[in-house]
Structure 1
Amino acid sequence: MIRASPREAWCGVAFFWVPSSTTSSHSTDIEPPPLRAAKMSTVHIKSPAEFQKLLSSSRIVVADFYADWCGPCKAIAPLYEQLSSSLSRKDVVTFVKIDVEAQKDIASTYNVTSLPTFMVFREGKAIEKVQGADPRKLQEVVKKLVKEVEGGSASGSGEGSGSSSGGSWRGAALPRGYTDITDQIEPKGCELLNADEDFGPVRVLFDTSKPSALAKKEGAKDWVESGADDQLLLFMPFQSMLKLHTLQLTSLPPTDDDDDEAPMRPGTIHLYTNKPHNLDFSEADDTPPTQAITLTEKDWNADGTANIGLRFVKFQNINSLIIYVTKGDGDGEKVRLDRVRLIGESGEKREMGKLEKIGDEAGE
C-alpha cells in the first residue's frame, strides 16, 4: 500500500480540491475584463527584499503562497496565471508567486498557515486573504480588484490618511498578517438594542465610507447613539466562521465641553461569541463575557478609533459576536458609535438560515 506523505495528506485534506480537468470551466466563469496595458508575467519572489520592493513600487500586489508538493496549489495555478495575464499592469497591479518552502520568513510574516493562500495588498497593506483552492472566493477578490483598477487607478490622491480609494475606510492600521473581514457580517441579521431612532440604523456601523464627522460633511447621521441610557447591545451574525484577532471601534462625539447632553465614547465593553441571537440586557449582565474591555482616553487615536487586540485563542471559529457597551467613558447619559471593523481571518462559508431584517427601513 502506498502511503501519502504527511505534506500531501495535510494539503489534500485541508482544502477544496479542484481537479485540473475542470480548470477551464473555472476560467470561463471569471472572464475578467481586459485592461489596456502591456502584458506582464507573474513574478516569482526570490527574497523578502524583492517582495518588499514590489509592495512599495506597485499599487496593488496579488500574492499566491504555494508549495511544489501541494496538489490544490497545482490545480488552481492555471487559473491564477490567467488572472495574472489578464489583469497585470506595470506599477499598478502585480501578480507574484511565493514558494513557502524557499521563503519561510515571508510566509511567517504574513501568518500563512494554509496552502494555497492568496493575499491582496494595496499600497503595501494587506486587504484580502483567501485560504484554500477556492475559485469562487478567488473570483470575488478578483472582481474587487478589477473595480479598484478601473475605478481608482486614474486618480492618485486619496481622501485622507484613514481612507483608501476603492476600499473600506478604517480608522487604524491592520495588524500584520490579518485582513479586514467586516464584509463577513450578515447585516440583515444584525440587531442593536437601546438605539435612538433619531440617528442612523445599525447598518451604518459597517459602512465602508469615512465617517461624516471626519470628512466634515453635513447630511445623514451616519452613526448610532444610545437612547434611554449609556448602554448599547449589538448582535452580529457572520456569513462564515471567523477567527477574530482585533476589534476596531470608531466613536466621534462632538468636542463641545459645554454640552451636557453630548454623547460619550464607550468606556466598558463586554464581548460574547457564538450566540444564536441577541441577549437582552438582563441576560448580558448575568452572562460571563468572552472578554471584558475597559477603554481609556489614550486608547483612542486621532481618527477616534480604538484598536482593540483580542485574546485570539478565545475568538477562534466564531459564527456571531455581541458587543455590549455597558457604560460610557464619563458621566453623560448617551454613548455614540460611528464605525465597527472586524480584523482577522475568514473561513468556511456557513449555511445561513432565513434571517429577518432588523433595523432597516421598510421596503429595503
Structure 2
Amino acid sequence: MSPVTRVLNFNLRVARGFSTSRASRAQNQIYASVRRPDDFHTYQLLSSSARTPLLTLWTTSWCSTCRVVAPLVKSLVDSGVGEQEGGVAFCTVEYDAPDIMSGEGGGLGMTYMITAIPTLLSFDAGEAMTQTKVTDGRKLADRTFLEDWIRNEARRHGGRGGGGGTGVLGGLFGGLRG
C-alpha cells in the first residue's frame, strides 16, 4: 500500500463521539397545586415538552382520604420513584377551586371524566391516560401499588401508551407511529 493510500484510508475513518460523564438520570418534578386551568395547561405543556408523564391527583378541601393520599404520592415522587424509568412530574388539582369547577365546558373535571375524589390520573404527551386512572381509595393508600403505578407511568416517555392494545382499534394503528 502506498503512503498516499494509507493517508486516504486514515482520513475516511469516522470519528465516534464519546462522553466522559455518565448519562444523567431523569429527575422527578413536583409542581404547585393547580387552582386555575391555565396552571394545569402550563404543567401539561412542560411535561409534554420534556417527554415526561404528568401525574395528577384530583382532590377537594373536604376529602379526608385526599389528606392521606396526597402526601403519600408526593413523598414517593419526591423520593425518586420512577426516575430510573424516565421520571415523572406531579401536581395535585384542587377540584373544588372555583376556576377548576366552572369554566368553559363544565370545567377540567368534566373534560377529563373525573367522577370520583380522589382520582389519580396520568397525562402523557398531553393526553389523559384514562385506562390507568385510579379511583379506588384502598389502592391509593397502598404504597406498593403506588410505587408500581408510578414506575409504569414513567415508562411511557411521551409514547402515549396507545396502539397494540386489546381495545376496539387495539392493534389496527399500532404500527403507524412515525
Q: Please, what TM-score do these two structures have when normalized by structure 1?
A: 0.31
Going from structure 1 to structure 2, the CA distance change for 1:250 and 1:96 (only over 3 Å counts) comes to closer
Kindly report which structure 2 residues correspond to 1:1-364, keeping only aligned pairs within 5 A, or say none. 36=25, 40-58=29-47, 59-87=52-80, 93-102=88-97, 103-104=100-101, 105-127=107-129, 128-133=132-137, 134=139, 135-136=141-142, 137-146=145-154, 148=155, 152=157, 164=159, 167-169=161-163, 206=166, 248-249=168-169, 303=173
Structure 2's unaligned 5+ residue stretches are 1-23, 102-106
Deviation at 1:101, TM superposition (A): 0.5
1:55 touches 1:61 (CA, 8 Å); kept in 2?
yes
Report the secondary structure of 1:248's partner residue.
Answer: coil
Whose helix fraction is larger, Structure 1's or Structure 2's?
2
Aligned pair in 2 of structure 1 residues 39, 168: CA closer, same or farther (>3 Å)?
closer
Q: Deviations over 1:34-54 (max 9, x none)?
A: x94556433211311221122
Bigger strand fraction: 1
- Asked if the contact 1:42/1:84 (under 8 Å) is kept, the reply is no
User: Per-residue deviation at 1:74?
Assistant: 0.7
Distance 1:62 1:107 in 2: 15
Identity %: 25
CA distance in 2, matches of 1:86, 1:250: 35
Deviation at residue 73 of structure 1 after TM alignment:
0.8
Greater RCO structure (CA 8 Å; 6+ sep): 2
CA RMSD after TM alignment: 3.2
CA distance in 1, matches of 2:153, 2:168: 24
Q: Which is further off, 46-55 or 131-140?
A: 131-140
Asked whether the equivalents of residues 130 and 138 of structure 1 are also in contact (C-alpha less than 8 Å), the reply is no
What is the DSSP-based 3-state SS (H/G/I as helix, E as strand, rest coil) of the residue aligned with 1:120? Answer: strand
Q: Which runs of 5+ in 1 are unaligned?
A: 1-34, 157-163, 171-181, 183-205, 207-246, 253-302, 305-364
Q: CA shift at 1:141, angstroms?
A: 1.5
**Structure 1 249/115 Cα, relative in aligned 2: closer, same or farther at 3 Å?**
same
Aligned residues: 131
Letter in 1 for 2:94: D
User: What secondary structure, in the 3-state scheme, does the structure 1 residue paired with 2:117 have?
Assistant: coil
What amino acid does structure 2 have at the position aligned with 1:123? A
Which residue in the other structure is 2:15 paired with?
none
